[in-house]
Amino acid sequence: MYLIGLTGGIASGKSVVAKRLAELGATVVDADQVARDVVAPGTPGLAAIARRFGSRVVAADGSLDRTSLGKLIFTDPDARLALNAITHPAIRRRSAELFVDAECADPHAVVIYDVPLLIEASAEPGYHKFDLVVVVDASSETRLVRLVQLRGHTREEAQQRLNSQATDSERLAIADVVIDSNGTVEETIAQAEALWNGLPGSTRPGA
């Protein structure tokens, strides 16, 4: 197995890169989906969140009220740290299980771990070790515009989300490969394809 950590700030274009790599043959483990799974109704993760933040973050159907929780964590750094302390260990365990599943299915699998908070989580003991770290980079202004125009956030809401994550310089400092996504989608995809074609041949499916 060849394990790639793929990260980037919110609205950086990371999902575009992950989607193209999946089309080329990679197995993608989406940390956001794993994060949703570990706080699904009935899970220990959701129970712990409810104990810490109260019933206001649990919807009437018993699911996590992400809107209410988001308002808390994007404006309160202590609340965000408390949430991370609950969710990160569970996400790490489940992701590791999925890596093992991928390797059992194909010992030569290229596994992409699509993880927005790689910087924040990688400081924790026992975090995953990657063969390659890829950072999808776009300027803060580009990402802010995308959040406003494509996701419907106000400029203030968008800025809060940008401020809640690691800085561009922190992400770039850990990158083995940088994909510049300030341009068109087609340009970003072309860089993803170049990354794929540059992987060691013995690890690339179909090579």
Mean pLDDT of the chain: 89
In terms of Cα–Cα distance, which of 25, 48, 197, 33 is closest to 109?
Answer: 25
The domain of 165 spans 2-40+93-203
**Within a domain: 77:** no
**Within a domain: 175:** yes
- CA gap 148, 60 in Å, rounded: 29
- CA gap 207, 193 in Å, rounded: 14
**Within a domain: 49:** no
Q: How many CA atoms lie within 13 A of 159 on its CB side?
A: 3
**Within a domain: 53:** no
- CA gap 187, 182 in Å, rounded: 9
**Within a domain: 99:** yes
- Cβ neighbours of residue 107 closer than 8 Å, sequence gap 6 or more: 1
**Within a domain: 45:** no
**Within a domain: 130:** yes
When divided into structural domains, the chain yields a total of 1
Tell me which residues of the chain have a pLDDT lower than 50: 202
Quote the pTM value: 0.83
**Within a domain: 22:** yes
Q: Tell me the CATH number at 194.
A: 3.40.50.300
For 152-193, how does the pLDDT look when each residue is reduced to its tens digit (9 = 90+)? 777 777 777 777 777 888 888 999 999 999 999 999 999 999
pLDDT (0 to 100) of residue 123: 77
In terms of Cα–Cα distance, which of 89, 110, 1 is closest to 43?
Answer: 89
